[in-house]
């Protein structure tokens, strides 16, 4: 990742004094997670640019020496080497520490003065929050612009990536600029590479104390800086705001943070399927209950697992582990794995299943790992049964053939139990007008006929037979909300 700072007032090379880095001397700094290079692509009296390039060592990440501690495949496949993140803040503090504190022996008056500066930062992960860039940086006096990138120019329908290249222009003290970046980069990135310790509040007060107090988004920034950890957010706000302001702020933060209070460094995942299903439910009485459809579906899947007599079961796209929780107590099952593409979902599953408090026998039964169902994976081979519950509709339709190969050709368990929404039932949900789907991440939903046709084609291609059934309340046209296929391998 690259951060450049440009100064254009004569003699612009004074930037070298302010940063305590000589423009003619490229420098390298060794950090525990990689190397930082500081050099000047341009150093002329009219214009001077200092570049800080952070080169994270992916081997150390993979060995778990540094990283987010999420583990699994995340250690190998992640955006850490190129995304602007808390690694960059740590690098800034280390390499530009003196400039950050505002000290400059040679040019003290310049260090204390607001200067016209321009910053360019590559690959700031800000998802769909680009509006927030202005809300956060403009009150600090910056003109904000950014460039978004497509995920892959060969596949424009994949949409935009999560990253933007950000440019900030403003007349600010260099020390203030560096402190703004130190605090605000991780606010956008959210994954912290270090375990947040008790000195974290002090760090925020040290780098943000002066300017954060009057920032209109102080609560949002604080909450995100601490990944919504209640105790830190509350403690920081109490020290930054007046007593009265802080109390309002804290109660808001506290409410807002309960959902993720136990997830530590992780971001908020989107609403789960049962949550969105409950939200769609038009009947207020039924809405109060915990998604009865979800319970009915899971009951049906567990029954199908029992019926096929499987002893080894893989839950593919296990999400936060609702099915795993039920399967864990099934006596006939001796080995259980949960696989999902999302490390966030897996971490939540681990927390929710409270494995550390379970008896050793149960704990030893289950393994969670990250993987993608569109790639052959030997870890999925040799199971009696695989469950794929409410997952296929999260894949782009052109990936379905790859999914079918992974599950039915390569993993090839004796039984595959697969559920997916029945689009023909959506007319019963008031909120789903104009062909809307049940969950924001659904790429499609099949009608009864479409699901039947897909299931039959899979059987023909890979040598399975299928028994289809439908789950949930029956509407006046005989449609039910969930469809299930139990596929059995021939021979
Ligand atoms: N089976 C769970 C979760 C359903 S939500 C339940 O019924 O509660 C869909 C899940 O599929 C998400 O957790 C998502 O991360 C996962 N998923 C989507 N595409 C995937 C893929 N290609 N490989 C593995 N998991 C995937």
Residues facing 423 on adjacent strands: none
| Number of neighbours of residue 303 by Cβ within 10 angstroms | 12
Whether residue 208 is predicted with pLDDT greater than 60 in this model: the reply is yes
What pLDDT band is residue 246 in, cutting at 50, 70 and 90?
low
Sheet holding 366-370, edge to edge: 366-370, 335-340, 312-316, 385-389, 415-421, 482-489, 464-471
The answer, yes or no, to whether residue 359 has pLDDT greater than 90, is: no
Cβ atoms 377, 412 nearer than 8 A: no
Task: Identify the weakest region by mean pLDDT among 66-80, 285-299, 345-359.
Answer: 66-80
Give the model's pLDDT for residue 261.
Answer: 27
pLDDT at 491: 85
pLDDT band at 255 (very low <50, low <70, confident <90, very high): very low
373 lines ligand 1 (CB under 6 A): yes
Distance between CA atoms of residues 278 and 288, nearest Å: 8
Q: Determine if ligand 1 sits within 6 Å of the CB of residue 341.
A: yes
C-alpha closest to that of 279 among 264, 291, 296, 293? 291
Residue 419 above 70 pLDDT? yes
Query: What does the alpha-carbon distance between residue 284 and residue 278 come to, in Å, rounded to a whole number?
Result: 10
Across 51-60, 105-114, 269-278, 430-439, least confident range: 269-278
CA atoms of 315 and 336, how far apart (whole Å): 8
**Lowest mean pLDDT segment, chosen from 81-90, 130-139, 432-441, 474-483:** 432-441
pLDDT value at residue 481? 94
Instruction: Dump pLDDT digits (tens) for 103-112.
Output: 888 999 999 9
Cα of 274 from ligand 1 centre, angstroms: 13
pLDDT at 254 over 50: no
Lowest mean pLDDT: which of 65-69, 212-216, 333-337? 65-69
pLDDT at residue 420 is higher than 60: yes
Residue 63 in this model has a pLDDT that exceeds 80: no
Q: Is 372 in the pocket of ligand 1 (CB under 6 A)?
A: yes
State the angle between helix axes of 130-137 and 218-225 in degrees (0 to 180), rounded to the nearest 10. Answer: 120
pLDDT at 196: 59
pLDDT tens digits, 231-244: 788 888 888 886 66
420 Cβ inside 6 Å of ligand 1: no
Q: What pLDDT sits at residue 71?
A: 56
The two structure tokens encoding residue 409: 């050709």
Give the pLDDT score at 335.
96
> What CATH number is given for 2-252 in this structure?
3.30.1610.20
d(CA 88, CA 67): 13
Is the pLDDT reported for residue 285 higher than 60? no
Q: Per-residue pLDDT tens for 380-400?
A: 999 999 999 999 999 999 999
pLDDT at residue 364, rounded to an integer: 87
With cut-offs at 50, 70 and 90, classify the pLDDT of residue 483: very high
What does the CA dihedral 152, 153, 158, 161 come to, rounded to 10 degrees? 50
The answer on pLDDT for 266 being more than 60 is no
**Ligand 1 center to 461 CA (angstroms):** 24
CA 418 to ligand 1 center in whole angstroms: 12
Question: Which residue puts its alpha carbon closest to atom 18 of ligand 1?
Answer: 394
Q: Where are the domains of the chain?
A: 2-252, 275-489
Ligand 1 atom nearest the C-alpha of 273 is 5
> What is d(CA 33, CA 254) in angstroms, rounded to the nearest whole number?
33
Question: Please, are residues 435 and 385 in contact by the beta-carbon 8 Å criterion?
Answer: no
Predicted confidence band at 250 (pLDDT cuts at 50, 70, 90)? very low
What are the backbone angles phi and psi of residue 347, rounded to the nearest 5°?
-65, -40
Average pLDDT, the chain: 85
Whether the upstream peptide bond of residue 11 has omega within 30° of 0, thus cis, is: yes
The rounded percent of the chain whose pLDDT value lies above 70 is 84
pLDDT of res. 278: 62
Task: State in Å: Cα 373 to ligand 1 middle.
Answer: 9
Whether the CB of 391 sits within 6 Å of ligand 1:
yes
Contact between 326 and 387 under an 8 Å Cβ cutoff? The reply is no
Residue 145 has pLDDT above 70, yes or no: yes
For residue 289, report the distance from its CA to the centre of ligand 1, in Å. 24
* pLDDT at position 84: 85
Distance 311 CA to ligand 1 centre (A): 23
The CATH code of the domain at 275-489 is: 3.40.50.150
Whether 135 contacts 206, CB under 8 Å = no
Q: Model's pTM, two decimal places? A: 0.53
Comparing 62 with 220, the larger pLDDT belongs to 220
pLDDT band with cut points at 50, 70 and 90 for residue 263? very low
Q: Which residue has better confidence, 300 or 267? A: 300
Q: Is 297 in the pocket of ligand 1 (CB under 6 A)?
A: no
The C-alpha atoms of residue 129 and residue 127 are separated, in whole angstroms, by 5
Instruction: Check residues 163 and 357 and name the one with the higher pLDDT.
Output: 163
CA of 359 to the centre of ligand 1 (A): 27
Flag the least confident range among 306-310, 331-335, 349-353: 349-353
**What's the confidence (pLDDT) of residue 273?**
62
> In angstroms, what is the span from residue 264 Cα to ligand 1's centroid?
21
The radius of gyration of the chain's CA atoms, rounded to the nearest angstrom, is: 27
Query: What phi, psi does 320 have (nearest 5°)?
Result: -90, 15
Number of H helices, E strands in the chain: 19, 14
Confirm or reject: Cβ of 482 under 6 Å from ligand 1. Answer: no
DSSP symbol at 309: T
pLDDT value at position 358?
A: 76
Q: Is the CB of 394 under 6 A from ligand 1?
A: yes
Q: What is the largest CA-CA distance in the chain?
A: 84
Confidence of residue 318 (pLDDT cuts 50, 70, 90): very high
CB of 255 closer than 8 Å to CB of 283:
no
Residues 40, 45, 51: CA angle, nearest 5 degrees: 15
Q: What is the model's pLDDT at position 276?
A: 64
* CA distance linking residue 316 with residue 389, whole number of Å: 8
44 vs 23: CA distance, rounded Å:
9
pLDDT average, residue stretch 473-491: 94
More confident residue, 57 or 116: 116
What is the average per-residue pLDDT within 154-159?
Answer: 82
Query: What's residue 281's pLDDT?
Result: 62
The better pLDDT of the pair 476, 71 is held by 476
Among 95-99, 126-130, 276-280, 433-437, name the one with the lowest average pLDDT: 276-280
Nearest to 388 by CA among 362, 354, 413: 413
Task: Identify the pLDDT of residue 243.
Answer: 62
Helix, coil or strand: residue 97 = helix
Mean pLDDT of 353-360: 79
What is the rounded distance in angstroms from the CA atom of residue 74 to the CA atom of residue 368? 13
Q: Does the pLDDT at position 251 exceed 50?
A: no
Give dist(CA 184, CA 100) in Å, integer: 14
């Amino acid at each position: 990742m690259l951060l450049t700072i440009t100064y254009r007032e004569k003699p612009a090379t004074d930037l070298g004094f302010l940063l305590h880095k000589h423009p003619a001397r490229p420098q390298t700094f060794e950090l525990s997670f990689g190397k930082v290079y500081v050099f000047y692509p341009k150093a002329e009296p009219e214009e001077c640019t200092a570049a800080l390039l952070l080169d994270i060592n992916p081997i150390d990440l993979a060995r778990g020496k540094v990283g987010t501690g999420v583990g699994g495949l995340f250690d190998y496949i992640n955006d850490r080497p190129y995304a602007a993140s808390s690694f960059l803040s740590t690098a800034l503090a280390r390499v530009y520490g003196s400039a950050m504190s505002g000290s400059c022996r040679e040019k003290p008056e310049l260090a204390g003065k607001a200067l016209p500066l321009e910053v360019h930062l590559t690959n700031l992960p800000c998802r769909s929050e680009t509006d927030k860039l202005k809300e956060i940086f403009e009150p600090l006096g910056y003109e904000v612009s950014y460039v978004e990138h497509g995920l892959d120019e060969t596949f424009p329908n994949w949409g935009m990536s999560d990253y933007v290249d950000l440019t900030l222009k403003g007349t600010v003290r260099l020390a203030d600029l560096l402190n703004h970046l130190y605090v605000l980069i991780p606010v956008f990135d959210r994954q912290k590479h270090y375990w947040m310790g008790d000195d974290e509040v002090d760090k925020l007060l040290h780098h943000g104390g002066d300017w954060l107090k009057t920032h209109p988004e102080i609560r949002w920034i604080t909450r995100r800086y601490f990944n919504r950890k209640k105790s830190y957010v509350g403690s920081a706000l109490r020290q930054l705001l007046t007593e009265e302001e802080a109390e309002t702020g804290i109660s808001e933060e506290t409410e807002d943070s309960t959902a993720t209070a136990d997830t530590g460094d992780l971001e908020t995942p989107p609403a789960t399927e049962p949550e969105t299903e409950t939200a769609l439910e038009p009947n207020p009485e039924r809405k109060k209950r915990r998604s009865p459809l979800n319970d009915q579906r899971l009951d049906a899947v567990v029954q199908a697992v029992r019926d096929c007599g499987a002893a080894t079961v893989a839950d593919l796209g296990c999400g936060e582990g609702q099915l795993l929780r039920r399967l864990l107590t099934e006596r006939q099952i001796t080995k259980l794995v949960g696989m999902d593409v999302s490390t966030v979902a897996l971490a939540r599953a681990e927390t929710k299943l409270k494995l550390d408090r379970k008896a050793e026998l149960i704990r030893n039964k289950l393994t969670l790992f990250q993987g993608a169902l569109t790639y052959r994976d030997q870890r999925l081979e040799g199971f009696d049964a695989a469950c794929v519950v409410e997952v296929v509709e999260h894949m782009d339709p052109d990936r379905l053939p790859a999914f079918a190969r992974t599950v039915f050709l390569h993993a090839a368990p004796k039984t595959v139990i697969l559920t997916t929404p029945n689009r023909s039932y959506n007319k019963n949900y008031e909120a789903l007008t104009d062909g809307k789907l049940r969950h924001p991440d659904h790429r499609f939903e099949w009608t009864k006929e479409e699901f039947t046709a897909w299931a039959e084609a899979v059987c023909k291609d890979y040598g399975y037979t299928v028994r289809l059934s439908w789950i949930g309340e029956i509407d006046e046209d005989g449609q039910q909300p969930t469809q299930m296929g139990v596929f059995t391998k021939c021979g």
